[in-house]
Structure 1
Amino acid sequence: MLPILEILGLPRLDTINCYIREGVNKHRGLELIEAIVLIEAKPGSFEILNLELSKAKGVRSVTATLGRWDFVVEIEAEDLKGLGENVLKLAQVRGVKSTETLIIFPST
């Protein structure tokens, strides 16, 4: 008996998981645009920000840090317009004091 993925002509799950890890939407033939958003929190908003940032659209990970920036947020979108919208939404989260965005240059 053939596995259902093979019957449907879909890639194996380990292949799909690899695409997700690489940040590449290969099924549609598109490479996602990725960025790092550095976030400075307003005093007293650290815990709520940690929760709210992780819920925002396009967010892959949120890491709390010590130093000038309080959070490092990895985000992704299908195009620059979507990336810009996601970054603006992050900047508007209650408790965000300032942000700096670093667009990840695709490796060759």
Structure 2
Amino acid sequence: MELVIQVVEGGLYIARLNQPEHSERWLRVICQRRGLSYKANMRFHSLAHVREYFEPLQPAFVWLEHHSAYDEMIGMHSTEKVCRQPLYWYCQDKTSTNSMRASA
């Protein structure tokens, strides 16, 4: 399962879950089992809120997408480009965690 977060002007973030082999309804059921109310394209006011909200799911992949309209702003043909950055929110390297505990 992946979580895609789109950056929108005005400090908003639109979050949606994606799993190509399953339907939107299946995603809602999985969320409900973990105590989350989910609908496609949920709106958030901070990345911290998105991370906290989806923490019970621990999606395998989290992407931050920023759509750029730069070409259109300088008078070129409108070709919206997407910058996609991975966020490593829920990945845990157990070996580094264990070595940090051992040194403490």
- Which of structures 1 and 2 has the larger relative contact order (alpha carbons within 8 angstroms, sep 6+)? 1
Tell me the TM-score range normalised by the shorter chain: 0.3 to 0.5
TM, length-normalised to structure 2: 0.32
